[in-house]
Structure 1
Amino acid sequence: MATDFTQELKDLRATMSSVREVTDLSSLEATIADFERQASDPHLWDDQEKAQVVTSGLSRAKAEHDRITGMDARIDDLEALVEMGQEENDAETLAEAEKELVGVRKAVGELEVRTLLSGEYDERAAVVTIRAGAGGVDAADFAEMLMRMYLRWAERHHYPVKVLDTSYAEEAGLKSATFEVDVPYAYGNLSVEAGTHRLVRISPFDNQGRRQTSFAAVEVVPLIEQTDTIEIPENDLKIDVFRSSGPGGQSVNTTDSAVRMTHLPTGTVVSMQNEKSQIQNRAAALRVMQSRLLLLKKAEEAAERKELAGDVKASWGEQMRSYVLHPYQMVKDLRTEHEVGNTSGVFDGDIDGFIETGIRWRIAQEKAEA
């Protein structure tokens, strides 16, 4: 069946019109102008922290603006390619247009998903924690596989990542790991990854070659900002210091620079060992603790609202995705039904399809509940 390029181009332009309306390009351009004014101040780098905020803010705002205006230009080029192919009845040119259409459709879809991220904390950077669950050494290995998957996803998008803590298992893999993805909307995107992940495979650690099912939990919280009001009384915190450890539990630091922070009222625990000093690890631990308590507070408020409304369904916290490597190969999201047969691609960071369908699913759930 021949592609209806006229309808496809019309649909793409309609979607981009909605994207521009939600994004508010004029406001974005005003933001860029303001950042450029601040960046031109000869005394900007007298305050290095402020300078980094300004320069990174300018870079991100320009990138966002270029993504939208660049997409408009890309659709114009596609339309010109289609017209040329149709006028000359050139099958090769039309095949090239067909291929470009697939790429443009995907890119426009990603921009559209961004407009759906309107939650209170969706614009924030994200703090992701992965913990090995049931399954022994296979679960620890699975936790490390997930860690690599998310780091590769960030690398594919050129997102800066900072590993805050890694706790290695004795035989292989990770007990837990925490990292920060510091770009706008990282939380909005990655929050749909939160939940229990399941791996089914022939265990490489079983000398009898038996199939093993193992689990890992992914937690995603928005990064706390100075404007947030999360006050933690000192008496509510228990702070322990210890030496940083590497694979197999060996000490990698001769001083007690690692920090374990416990929030006594809730039992929330945060460990940090990847900074060079105890002071830095303590500051990093406090930020993550505040982020987790902020999300916990919001979750409690949401639970109260649901209870008042008579809705006690649990949508999160259950097994949400299966990664099957034996007897067949498939990764399937159990909420959205989105599935992929290329498991190696998924573990190499190709998870945008899962994130996009997860966001659309979440929006549909919220609308249904409303």
Structure 2
Amino acid sequence: MASIDFSEEIRALRATYANVEQVIDVEKLEADVARLSEAAGVPDLWDDPAAAQKITSELSHRQHELKRVREIGSRIDDLEVMVQLAAEEDDADTLAEAGNELTALKRALSELEVVTLLSGEYDERAAVVTIRAGAGGVDAADFAEMLMRMYLRWAERKGYQTAVMDTSYAEEAGLKSATFEVNAPYAFGTLSVEAGTHRLVRISPFDNQGRRQTSFAAVEVIPLIEQTDSIEIPENEIKVDVFRSSGPGGQSVNTTDSAVRLTHIPTGIVVSMQNEKSQLQNRAAALRVLQSRLLLVKKQEQDAKKKELAGDVKASWGDQMRSYVLNPYQMVKDLRTDHEVGNTGAVFDGEIDDFIDAGIRWRAGQRTNAE
């Protein structure tokens, strides 16, 4: 009886896997790996370090993606063999092991399936994430730092490269704001569902009367600009300020004006960078992020025009998208998808895949309903 149940489950797995293979386009992925491998093998590759880094990084990402797809196919084959052997020998232990593997495969295939829903114009890009403390004083600044750690831990668990680009520390504790890059395939498409206002409810560790405090932090996610993107910013539209970078509590990091603040005059967008060693490096990094933000603004304007032509679409993202409650009970709940968990410690330690997956599926559903 168990083998019949497993057979049905395996058939369902194979059907889903075949659909995922088709959407991901494994043949194109293999061709990309072959092309990039050839490019990475030329003798003078590192004569241009920036180009070499881009090629090797993209090759690594594509190889990882291809390996991930192929491994799931192999695991489905292995599961079928395991079930057949267990049934022939009436081995209950092996059948139990097969059941565990079936559960794990469903999870892995579900995660892979989510990638097929990332079809936006910039979804494949690396992401630049900015977190800003909102209402709530020192608790909000502390919350902003908690969120930054949460996302960096998530990226670390995934093996994604990250780089902190700018941090502005609050006076007492936490962060006024922080900007960091996540360099991985589909980082923007994946993390863009995290954009919005996050709310924290807890007994404030900064209140000597032990009162409950509600605080807010805003998360912004933009795609990283590429050289092929045509975002030109006239020099007369940018105001440049230089200042000395500093660390927590105002501690001096260096004694030269190496930090850079760019203000885009027409839009009022401000970008600060202080983590590079030289003013030129910080200015280049700040300009790249400014271009990324303007690229996203341009796309949002286009999307707004489309919405205007299509009519009002309900169930918009809204400002407050997730609540983290630590008192009087413990729960993290996404207000768009209704997904919730009780293990708040795990969430703040980077276990947010279920929230991200639910958000991506929810967004895909909203797009389908709007068409």
Give the alignment's TM-score, normalised by structure 1.
0.97
The equivalent residue for 2:149 is 148
Letter of the structure 1 residue corresponding to residue 103 of structure 2: V
- The alpha-carbon deviation at position 12 of structure 1 amounts to 1.1
The equivalent residue for 2:317 is 316
- The alpha-carbon deviation at position 366 of structure 1 amounts to 0.4
Higher mean C-alpha deviation, range 12-21 or range 55-64: 55-64
Q: Distance in 2 between matches of 1:360 and 1:102?
A: 20
- 1:83 and 2:84 aligned: yes
- The alpha-carbon deviation at position 251 of structure 1 amounts to 2.1
State how 1:302-341 maps to structure 2 within 5 Å: 302-311=303-312, 313=314, 315-341=316-342
Q: Distance in 2 between matches of 1:231 and 1:41?
A: 32
The equivalent residue for 2:270 is 269
Letter of the structure 1 residue corresponding to residue 370 of structure 2: E
The equivalent residue for 1:257 is 258
Q: Distance in 2 between matches of 1:242 and 1:285?
A: 14
Q: Distance in 1 between matches of 2:52 and 2:267?
A: 37
Q: Distance in 1 between matches of 2:346 and 2:134?
A: 23
- The alpha-carbon deviation at position 26 of structure 1 amounts to 1.6
The equivalent residue for 2:297 is 296
The equivalent residue for 1:352 is 353
Letter of the structure 1 residue corresponding to residue 162 of structure 2: V
Q: Distance in 2 between matches of 1:314 and 1:226?
A: 35
Letter of the structure 2 residue corresponding to residue 34 of structure 1: R
- The alpha-carbon deviation at position 249 of structure 1 amounts to 2.2
The equivalent residue for 1:247 is 248
What SS does structure 2 have at the residue aligned with 1:124? coil
Letter of the structure 2 residue corresponding to residue 307 of structure 1: E
Letter of the structure 2 residue corresponding to residue 226 of structure 1: Q
What SS does structure 1 have at the residue aligned with 2:116? helix
The equivalent residue for 1:63 is 64
Letter of the structure 2 residue corresponding to residue 21 of structure 1: Q
Q: Distance in 1 between matches of 2:138 and 2:8?
A: 53
- The alpha-carbon deviation at position 317 of structure 1 amounts to 4.3
The equivalent residue for 1:342 is 343
Q: Matched residues, percent identical?
A: 72
- The alpha-carbon deviation at position 365 of structure 1 amounts to 0.2
2:317–2:336 contact (8 Å) kept in structure 1: no
The equivalent residue for 2:176 is 175
Higher mean C-alpha deviation, range 305-314 or range 53-62: 305-314
What SS does structure 2 have at the residue aligned with 1:120? coil
2:260–2:279 contact (8 Å) kept in structure 1: yes
Cα deviation code 1:181-240 (max 9, x no counterpart): 011100000000000000011111111111111000000000011111111111111110
The equivalent residue for 2:226 is 225
The equivalent residue for 2:19 is 18
- The alpha-carbon deviation at position 313 of structure 1 amounts to 4.6
1:169–1:249 contact (8 Å) kept in structure 2: no
- The alpha-carbon deviation at position 308 of structure 1 amounts to 2.6
Higher mean C-alpha deviation, range 330-339 or range 35-44: 35-44
Cα deviation code 1:136-163 (max 9, x no counterpart): 0000000000000000000000000010
Unaligned residue ranges in structure 1 (runs of 5+): none
- 1:31 and 2:32 aligned: yes
- The alpha-carbon deviation at position 31 of structure 1 amounts to 1.3
Letter of the structure 2 residue corresponding to residue 258 of structure 1: A
Q: Structure 1's 63 and 312: CA in aligned 2 closer, same or farther, altered over 3 A? A: closer
- The alpha-carbon deviation at position 327 of structure 1 amounts to 0.8
- The alpha-carbon deviation at position 87 of structure 1 amounts to 2.2
What SS does structure 2 have at the residue aligned with 1:227? coil
Cα deviation code 1:23-42 (max 9, x no counterpart): 22221111111112222212
Once superposed, which parts of structure 1, at least 4 consecutive aligned residues long, lie more than 6 Å away?
Answer: none
1:16–1:108 contact (8 Å) kept in structure 2: yes
- 1:283 and 2:284 aligned: yes
Unaligned residue ranges in structure 2 (runs of 5+): none
The equivalent residue for 1:199 is 200
State how 1:96-115 maps to structure 2 within 5 Å: 96-115=97-116
Q: Distance in 2 between matches of 1:302 and 1:60?
A: 29
Letter of the structure 2 residue corresponding to residue 78 of structure 1: L
Q: Distance in 1 between matches of 2:85 and 2:176?
A: 58
Q: Distance in 2 between matches of 1:301 and 1:217?
A: 23
Q: Distance in 2 between matches of 1:314 and 1:99?
A: 37
Q: Distance in 1 between matches of 2:330 and 2:2?
A: 33
Q: Distance in 2 between matches of 1:8 and 1:167?
A: 51
- The alpha-carbon deviation at position 310 of structure 1 amounts to 2.6
Q: Distance in 1 between matches of 2:86 and 2:333?
A: 39
- The alpha-carbon deviation at position 64 of structure 1 amounts to 1.1
The equivalent residue for 2:128 is 127
The equivalent residue for 2:238 is 237
Letter of the structure 1 residue corresponding to residue 78 of structure 2: D
Aligned-CA RMSD value: 1.4
Q: Structure 1's 42 and 333: CA in aligned 2 closer, same or farther, altered over 3 A? A: same
Letter of the structure 2 residue corresponding to residue 171 of structure 1: E
